[in-house]
Amino acid sequence: MFPLNNGNLKIAVQKKGRLTEKSIELLNLCGLGIDNYTDRLYISATSFPADILFLRDDDIPEYVQDGVADLGIVGENVITEKPVTIDLKEKLGFGKCRIMIAYPDSVQIDDVSGLAGKKIATTYPSILGKFLSKNDIEARIIEISGSVEIAPALGIADVICDIVSTGNTLKLNKLKRGFTVFESEAALIASPALRDNPVKEQLVSDLLKRIKSVITARKSKYLMMNVPKASLQEVIGMIPASKSPTILPLFDESTVAVHAVVPSGYIWEVLDPLKNAGATGILVLPIENMIP
């Protein structure tokens, strides 16, 4: 039997790029068990009936639409550029990036109207085309399939329109950021063909539950600290209302330990007030899963 024809859930992930490592990390936090995947075209998870397919990100939406893959992890930029029939299950909170206009120092563009009459190289002709017509701008779109950043240096375009994440690629190619055309993050997409396969649908709903718990956990931290009993009420007043903190006695009877789940950025806002209220031994720990 062909090894992929085994009833396992097929999950398509970007073969090599911005999303690869974080996609695998998410699936592993969901308990799938994916090891030694470098340079593999597919690999079976050890702890979940799933096979991971490593594909070019631009091909993933179509594979998912056609049911070759049951699920895919791909940027919203890719799904939006090539309209396909898929179910968008969940935005994943990583792989955040922008499709931006960028140009060499020799070009000066102050606002969108400065694009009029320009030649713009991009791998996103559809997203760019909609942006231009929404802003009533006539420009020439030069569609190319990769290495867009080199187009101005080659003289085939004045400006480019491409993904910017860290900005390193722009810097390497001596281009500066212009304005944002589209904002994107990684998303989990599902094949419409799953609706006819209750066994796989059950696996998807199990996996989705795990993914949601990982995403929720990432937005929170576990805060632990020691607080003098005398200022306990004051400190509790600083903890977001919906979270009921745990209070534990300590050997030193004048002090208690306070534990609470708090939003990720919270601690930096209240660090000084907490210290002023006498809190000591403040620890902020990551949470791996949060089950509702």
What letter would DSSP give residue 8? P
Could you tell me the smallest distance in angstroms from the CB atom of residue 169 to ligand PRP? Answer: 3
CB closer to ligand PRP out of 77 and 255? 77
Specify the DSSP element, H or E, that contains 233: helix 232-236
From the list 25-33, 156-164, 192-200, 243-251, the region that binds ligand PRP by CB under 6 A is 156-164
Q: Does 126 bind ligand PRP (CB under 6 A)?
A: no
CB closer to Zn ion out of 78 and 203? 78
Could you tell me the smallest distance in angstroms from the CB atom of residue 82 to ligand PRP? Answer: 12
Q: Does 57 bind Zn ion (CB under 5 A)?
A: yes
Q: Does 165 bind ligand PRP (CB under 6 A)?
A: yes
Site string for ligand PRP, 9-48 (x = CB under 6 A): --------xx------------------------------
What letter would DSSP give residue 114? G
Taken in order 146, 149, 154, 158, the sign of the CA dihedral is positive
Rounded Cα gap, residues 280 and 133, in angstroms: 58
DSSP codes of every residue in 29-80: HTT------TT-SEEE-SSSSEEEEEE-GGGHHHHHHTTSSSEEEEEHHHHH
Residue of the chain from 12, 26, 57, 59 that contacts ligand PRP (CB under 6 A): 57
Q: At what angle do helices 20-29 and 198-218 cross, to 10 degrees?
A: 100
Q: Does 225 bind ligand PRP (CB under 6 A)?
A: no
- Selection from ligand PRP, Zn ion, none that 145 binds (CB < 5 to 8 A by kind) is none
Query: Backbone phi, then psi, for 64, in 5-degree steps?
Result: -70, -40
Total site size for Zn ion, rule CB under 5 A? 2
- Selection from Zn ion, ligand PRP, none that 12 binds (CB < 5 to 8 A by kind) is none
On whether the CB atoms of residues 177 and 167 are closer than 8 A, the answer is yes
Token digits of residue 70: 């049951």
Binding interface with Zn ion (CB under 5 A):
57-58
Which residues contact ligand PRP (rule: CB under 6 A)? Answer: 17-18, 57-58, 162-169
